Amino acid sequence: MILALTGAGISKASGLSTFDEMPGVRAKLNREYLDKHPEDFRKSVMEMHHVFKNAQPNDAHFALADYNIPILTMNVDGLHEKAGSTPINLHGTVPSDEELAKPEHLQDRPVLYGEEAPNYKRGIELVQQLGKNDILLVIGASAYTGISNDIRNIAAHNGAHVIEIQDNAVTNTRLVLEELKRKNLI
């Protein structure tokens, strides 16, 4: 089995900044901020929704869809879905147009810092299925988050080969998948 873990780095070529590149975003995506500043929180979610709605997938997203690779994503941008994949969205999603009126009460919204990631358990269960003949592709996912480290560590502990694609994900993802196909691993 090949499984992909994706983070913000996969979407950079689609024009999306990482949270590290957007000062103040993390401070707004927590429960305390939502409770104290619901209107600003709503505005921030609406701005994210607009940016994500207008963004388009890049070849890294399309390559994963073309090869039908199961995906765990920490992203909430919806680009995997636009490319044709059905990822497990570890951190939730951004609300649809219809849901935007009350983003603080949504089922579909980005996870807030300090909350449990809504699909963490489901993602971990999938990673625990990886074994010594399997591969975890880590694409644009930093080692700064607990979830991405947990996933890497579980895969490696179970003997899976962990392949990091951190630089130029838009080109290197397809190249790695083509190489795996040449080796009859896909």
Exposure string for 63-96, b = 16+ CB within 10 A, e = fewer: bbbebebebbbbbbbbbbbbbebebbbbbbbbbe
CATH of domain 2-182: 3.40.50.1220
Whether residue 91 lies in the annotated active site: yes
The single-letter DSSP state of residue 88 is E
What's the pLDDT tens digit per position in 109-119?
565 666 777 78
What pLDDT, on a 0 to 100 scale, did the predictor assign at position 62? 98
What pLDDT, on a 0 to 100 scale, did the predictor assign at position 117? 75
**Proportion of the chain above pLDDT 70, given as a percent:** 87
Domain boundaries, the chain: 2-182
Measured between alpha carbons, how far is 166 from 144 in angstroms, rounded to an integer? 13
Enter the tokens of residue 64. Answer: 């994963």
- In the set 49, 61, 80, 91, the catalytic residue is 91
Highest mean pLDDT: which range of 34-38, 110-114, 141-145, 180-184: 180-184
Which residue type is seen at 37? H
